[in-house]
């Protein structure tokens, strides 16, 4: 077995993978599965150079015919051969499909049931139904919107595929799509699993399969199943890495797959984009921005992931970079959903929310299932204090992708604004199911429990948030102390103010020094007042502690009025104590 030692790559296996991807492009393209074709092409483009035949006229070699001719591919040659009439009909229907005449394409193939013809006929019918559904739902959040509109072709497609006894891998894929739309999840999963086992290089089938993995537990169940049934499959590894990212859990398993795939595809744009997205998920913002910028520089015409990049720039308040990115995306393709989101984020950062909302809606007209656009649209409605519209947007985002913690978190914030704290805690908990290691979620949930006077749960949540915050523990403790202070739980407030002061970040390592100084002053003053009032302590001890916190608050001795008043109380207390002893 030939191995290239430096990266420990099995070159024989890699060259076989190379040929399989080349054939996948032919097989998927012939069935008009453009996303699967594009994905395989992008992956193939990044494969290790050692997998390629160097210094030869590749297309002149007979052994390469299975990678050059559809009928010679391994998958296609396993199917029944077509008659000349079937081939002619198929070419006609495919041409109609490519100009988006889906009903016409389906009609031309009426009563033709060879596997490839049946798939294209039913797939065209499915897309015709989707097209009509989209036409009925174009008025985003408007009075004439029919959000519950359905694909009226699903039933007839389902009946035909359900009764078919000879479904190939692609008809199983379409059957799985239809079953998932009908919310028959177990049956859909089984159909899609059959599809990828029969032909593993249809990326669209893997993506559809991933949509039904909504929890980390389910991920590990599916992983165990695939490891047992498809050992050594590179496509399985791509899939599992994709699902980890879609689950938004920031799971370390992602890097296991990334490190396994990177040596085989060292020049892969796709892998670099996945890495950038994961760094964004785990809030390694500087590294993520660097990779996104590299992707954009290497190919400024690739708009995929630029929506995520624009959102990162928005969160970092990088207005100039976002303006440049928006201009460049418009130059490439103005009416791409990703471009619309980039432009919307640019208007959002300028606080021009009416324009931002317009562009988010444009993105959604182009792609109704664009859950990131729904979520960001919800955020802008929150900014405009249109809470009801925000809630509707977050619900649409969850319908499109229930794994998006940002939409669940947005719902929690919206209901918290409405002072419906029981509802808010429910949605924050849903967000925590997806992101249990996210300190922000625990802190928000703790604040809601505080509003509900549930002191124990509030303390537990904020304690968990403090454990997860890392470099920002002191701000969580200050927030928790304030909550206890509002509830007149003085000892608990003092405990957390004191703990906050003990955090090293109060010594000046935080970015916003002014805010940190205000927090430090607030904590010291509270503790000084607290100890002044603690008559269960020895007079000398409590007065000494109060004075220490005043001096810590004002090390230069330049006291404000409150501090002067407390120092006067300390002086009076000591005089009173001295008289009693005398």
How sure is the predictor about 291, in pLDDT bands with cuts at 50, 70 and 90?
very high
Secondary element (H or E) of residue 312: helix 306-315
- The SS3 assignment for 397 reads helix
In the predicted model, is pLDDT for residue 581 greater than 60? Answer: no
Q: Which of 376-385, 417-426, 457-466 has the lowest mean pLDDT?
A: 457-466
Distances (CA, A) of 11 to 6, 64, 266, 324, 474: 12, 17, 14, 42, 53
Share of the chain above pLDDT 70, in %: 93
Out of 257-271, 474-488, 567-581, give the one with best mean pLDDT.
257-271
- CA distance linking residue 543 with residue 129, whole number of Å: 79
Query: For residue 301, how many other CB atoms are within 10 A of its CB?
Result: 10
- CA distance linking residue 377 with residue 307, whole number of Å: 13
Mean pLDDT on 245-263: 89
**Backbone phi, then psi, for 9, in 5-degree steps?**
-105, 135
pLDDT at 320: 96
Which among 51, 73, 78, 21 has a CA at the least distance from the CA of 203? 21
Contacts of 367 (CB under 8 A, 6+ apart): 337, 373
pLDDT per residue over 16-36, tens digit each? 999 999 999 999 999 999 999
**Backbone phi, then psi, for 3, in 5-degree steps?**
-130, 140
How sure is the predictor about 1, in pLDDT bands with cuts at 50, 70 and 90?
very low
pLDDT per residue over 117-174, tens digit each? 999 999 999 999 999 988 887 778 876 666 667 899 999 999 999 999 999 999 999 9
Are 322 and 345 a contacting pair, CB within 8 Å? Answer: yes
Are 549 and 524 a contacting pair, CB within 8 Å? Answer: yes
Distances (CA, A) of 560 to 46, 67, 417, 526: 65, 81, 35, 14
Per DSSP, 454 falls in state -
**Backbone phi, then psi, for 182, in 5-degree steps?**
-85, 0
- CA distance linking residue 512 with residue 431, whole number of Å: 28
- CA distance linking residue 526 with residue 18, whole number of Å: 68
- The SS3 assignment for 375 reads helix
pLDDT at 371: 94
pLDDT at 577: 64
Query: For residue 449, how many other CB atoms are within 10 A of its CB?
Result: 22
Quote the mean pLDDT of the chain. Answer: 89
Per-residue HEC secondary structure of 542-560 comes to: HHHHHHHHHHHHCCCCCCC
How sure is the predictor about 572, in pLDDT bands with cuts at 50, 70 and 90?
confident
- CA distance linking residue 190 with residue 209, whole number of Å: 9
pLDDT at 439: 86
Secondary element (H or E) of residue 81: none
Contacts of 11 (CB under 8 A, 6+ apart): 2, 3, 4, 50, 51
Are 529 and 517 a contacting pair, CB within 8 Å? Answer: no
pLDDT at 536: 59
Are 542 and 529 a contacting pair, CB within 8 Å? Answer: no
pLDDT at 538: 66
Mean pLDDT on 456-464: 85
In the predicted model, is pLDDT for residue 518 greater than 90? Answer: no
Q: Which of 217-221, 417-421, 550-554 has the lowest mean pLDDT?
A: 550-554
Q: What are the b/e assignments for 89-124, b being 16+ CB within 10 Å?
A: bbeebbebbeeebbbbbbebbeebebbbbbbbbbbb
Q: Which of 2-6, 16-20, 308-312, 451-455 has the lowest mean pLDDT?
A: 2-6
Are 315 and 285 a contacting pair, CB within 8 Å? Answer: yes
Cα angle value 47/50/53 (rounded, 5°)? 100
**Backbone phi, then psi, for 244, in 5-degree steps?**
-55, -45
Chain centre to alpha carbon of residue 408: 12
Mean pLDDT on 4-9: 49
Cα angle value 55/58/63 (rounded, 5°)? 120
pLDDT at 465: 83
pLDDT at 136: 80
pLDDT per residue over 464-517, tens digit each? 887 787 656 777 778 778 877 877 778 888 888 888 887 765 444 444 567 777
Task: Say if residue 575 is exposed, middle or buried (CB neighbours under 10 Å; 0-12, 13-18, 19+).
Answer: exposed
- The SS3 assignment for 4 reads strand
Q: Which CB contacts under 8 angstroms, 24+ apart, belong to 172-181? A: 172/198, 172/205, 173/202, 173/204, 173/205, 173/208, 174/119, 174/122, 174/123, 174/126, 176/205, 176/208, 176/209, 177/126, 177/208, 178/126, 178/154, 180/208, 180/211, 180/212, 181/151, 181/154
Are 507 and 471 a contacting pair, CB within 8 Å? Answer: no
pLDDT at 471: 58
pLDDT at 579: 62
- CA distance linking residue 26 with residue 73, whole number of Å: 8
pLDDT at 2: 37
pLDDT, greater one: 42 or 502: 42
Secondary element (H or E) of residue 564: helix 561-581
pLDDT at 445: 94
- pTM here is 0.84
Q: Is the dihedral of CA 78, 79, 85, 91 positive or negative?
A: negative
How sure is the predictor about 539, in pLDDT bands with cuts at 50, 70 and 90?
low
């Amino acid at each position: 077995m030939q191995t290239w030692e430096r990266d420990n790559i099995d070159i024989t296996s890699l060259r076989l993978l190379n040929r399989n991807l080349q054939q996948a492009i032919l097989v998927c393209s012939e069935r008009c599965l453009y996303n699967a074709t594009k994905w395989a092409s992008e992956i193939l483009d990044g494969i290790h150079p050692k997998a390629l035949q160097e210094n030869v006229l590749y297309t002149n070699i007979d052994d390469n015919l299975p990678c050059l001719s559809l009928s010679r591919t391994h998958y296609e040659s396993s199917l029944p051969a077509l008659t000349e009439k079937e081939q002619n009909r198929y070419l006609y229907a495919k041409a109609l499909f490519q100009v988006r005449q889906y009903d016409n394409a389906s009609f031309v193939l009426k009563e033709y049931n060879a596997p490839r013809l049946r798939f294209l006929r039913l797939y065209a019918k499915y897309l015709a139904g989707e097209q009509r559904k989209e036409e009925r739902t174009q008025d985003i959040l408007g009075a004439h919107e029919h959000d519950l509109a359905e694909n009226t072709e699903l039933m007839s497609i389902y009946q035909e595929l359900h009764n078919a006894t000879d479904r190939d891998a692609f008809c199983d894929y379409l059957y799985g799509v239809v079953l998932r739309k009908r919310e028959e999840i177990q049956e859909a999963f089984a159909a899609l699993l059959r599809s990828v086992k029969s032909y593993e290089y249809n990326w669209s089938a893997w993506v559809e399969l991933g949509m039904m993995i909504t929890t980390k537990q389910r991920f590990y169940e599916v992983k165990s199943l695939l490891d047992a049934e498809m050992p050594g499959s590179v496509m399985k590894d791509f899939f599992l890495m994709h699902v980890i990212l879609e689950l938004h859990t920031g799971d370390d398993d992602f890097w296991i797959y990334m490190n396994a795939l990177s040596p085989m595809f060292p020049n892969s744009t796709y892998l670099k984009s996945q890495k950038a997205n994961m760094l964004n998920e785990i809030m390694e913002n500087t590294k993520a921005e660097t990779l996104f910028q590299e992707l954009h520089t290497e190919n400024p015409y690739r708009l995929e992931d630029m929506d995520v990049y624009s959102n990162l720039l928005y969160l970092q308040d990088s207005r100039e970079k976002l303006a440049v990115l928006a201009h460049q995306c418009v130059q490439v393709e103005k009416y791409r959903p990703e471009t619309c989101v980039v432009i919307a984020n640019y208007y959002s950062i300028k606080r021009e929310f009416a324009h931002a909302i317009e562009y988010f809606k444009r993105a959604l007209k182009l792609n109704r299932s664009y859950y990131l656009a729904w979520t960001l649209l919800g955020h802008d409605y929150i900014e405009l204090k249109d809470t009801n519209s925000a809630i509707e947007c977050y619900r649409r985002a969850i319908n499109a992708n229930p794994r998006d913690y940002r939409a669940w978190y947005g719902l929690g914030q919206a209901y918290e604004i409405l002072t419906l704290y029981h509802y808010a805690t429910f949605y924050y908990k849903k967000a925590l199911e997806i992101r249990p290691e996210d300190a922000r979620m625990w802190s928000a949930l703790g604040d809601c429990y505080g509003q509900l006077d549930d002191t124990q749960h509030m303390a537990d949540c904020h304690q968990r948030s403090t454990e997860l915050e890392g470099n920002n523990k002191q701000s969580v403790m200050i927030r928790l102390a304030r909550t206890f202070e509002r509830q007149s739980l003085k000892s608990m407030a003092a405990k957390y103010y004191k703990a906050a002061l003990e955090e090293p970040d109060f010594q000046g390592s935080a970015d916003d020094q002014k805010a940190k100084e205000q927090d430090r002053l607030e904590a010291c003053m509270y503790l000084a007042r607290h100890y002044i009032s603690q008559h269960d302590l020895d007079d000398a001890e409590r007065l000494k502690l109060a004075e220490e916190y005043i001096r810590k608050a004002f090390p230069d001795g330049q006291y404000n009025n409150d501090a002067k008043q407390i120092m006067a109380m300390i002086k009076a207390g000591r005089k009173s104590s001295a008289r009693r002893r005398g």
